[in-house]
Structure 1
């Protein structure tokens, strides 16, 4: 069972909770997001993925997480996103051990309120952040969502391509080309899952053709698009305990 709701501080963040109804496996697909997760009595961070993260869940296993929108996590976590790419990192490897122990005690006592505790942690950190959003971040996401190339996106922001790459790695954990591939795949999955034929999905999502779509999705997701759409490979679309 999986549930989610928008985080109270906005910026596209989501609070989620999950409970394994049976022993199972699944995969989290690359989406540019970073999660702060409380599960099995520990706090850890799931960084932005460049490939599918396959996981297993046992019956009754519970987890609660705070998923940050692409580029938003560094302001809370205090580390560049590219230090977390394709990694699951204990929070006490990033923050003061005593502080993480105190937070873990709060979460253990919160029971059904763990999500609210995670929100409070993030809100406190955001209030102290020098640049919690970064006006350039949504501009990059909008440009790449629209299918603009890296050179055009950099020019629109008044940056060199090297500057855009450096900023993107720090904020998103990806260079802009990889970020564009991830966003395009997510757009294609949304279209295909809504019933759009695959040939039309390829065109609307910005692929050269359906064969290009199939290659890209399999390369990033590790499974065919048809199997992902049909739910035959345990894709949770980010709904996992990390």
Structure 2
């Protein structure tokens, strides 16, 4: 979505970011996370994506957001992540808004205030958040469903249910999305596509191409 910058962290598990639109149409690719953001004058929850999400915006329009740590969206909103998959939902549809949630002056500070209010209301269980973080690390490491379930003393069926609730999709899909982003990051850093694919865990560059096409509708070369 044009210029994108991570600004600073919020103590309780979110990262503040700002994006500036460089044109009227933008394509947001799946990234395995959920966000709370000020977008076009509204507080919006961006659910987990399984495909490209198209956004209309004015050139130079600024969007502020908080990228939520694994499992935190479920803790704050009380809604399973898979109910928000491939959706953008007004925050007021999920929780009762406070009167002082409007963006006054410093939009970033207002967004953090909303987040901390949600945190205070929800009092998230740290054990559950640690489990979500561990599952996310396992996915980033490319562990199989069986290995991840064994590592966390879960049945594969229980792991899939938990993953759907915390991330919006099963552990296999989460692995695929993280692997795609790892390869894309390496390629953007200058690695040849074949090397980036192999390092990220793809069988070969053709495998990377197929997964990129499935997730984004285009090729790695076009994305780069």
TM-score (norm 1): 0.84
CA drift of 1:16 comes to 2.0
Change (3 A) 1:36 1:172: same
Q: Which runs of 5+ in 2 are unaligned?
A: none
Q: Indicate the residue corresponding to 1:197 in structure 2.
A: 192
**Alignment root-mean-square deviation, CA:** 1.8
SS at match of 1:30: coil
* 1:4 is aligned to 2:6: yes
Cα distance in 2 for partners of 1:190, 1:72 equals: 25
Once the two structures are overlaid, the 10-residue window that deviates more, 158-167 or 61-70, is 61-70
Distance 1:203 1:77, change over 3 A: same
Stretches of structure 1 that go unaligned for 5 or more consecutive residues are 230-242
CA 64–166 in structure 1, closer or farther in 2 if over 3 Å, else same: same
Q: Is 1:18–2:19 an aligned residue pair?
A: yes
Q: TM-score, normalised by structure 2?
A: 0.90
Q: Does 1:122 align with 2:123?
A: no
Divergent runs of 4+, >6 A: none
User: Paired residue for 1:39?
Assistant: 39
Choose from 204, 211, 220 the match for 1:216. Answer: 211
Say which structure, 1 or 2, has more relative contact order (CA 8 Å, 6+ apart).
1
Aligned to 2:163: 168
Maintained 8 Å contact 1:42/1:104 = no
TM-superposition CA deviations, 1:176-232 (whole Å, max 9, x none): 011111111111111111111111112111111111110001110111001111xxx
- Residues 1-242 of structure 1 aligned to structure 2 (within 5 Å): 1-9=3-11, 11=13, 13-20=14-21, 23-96=23-96, 99=97, 102-105=99-102, 107=103, 110-111=104-105, 113-127=106-120, 128-132=122-126, 134-229=129-224
- Residues 81-102 of structure 1: per-residue CA shift (max 9 Å, x gap): 1111100111121112xx25x2
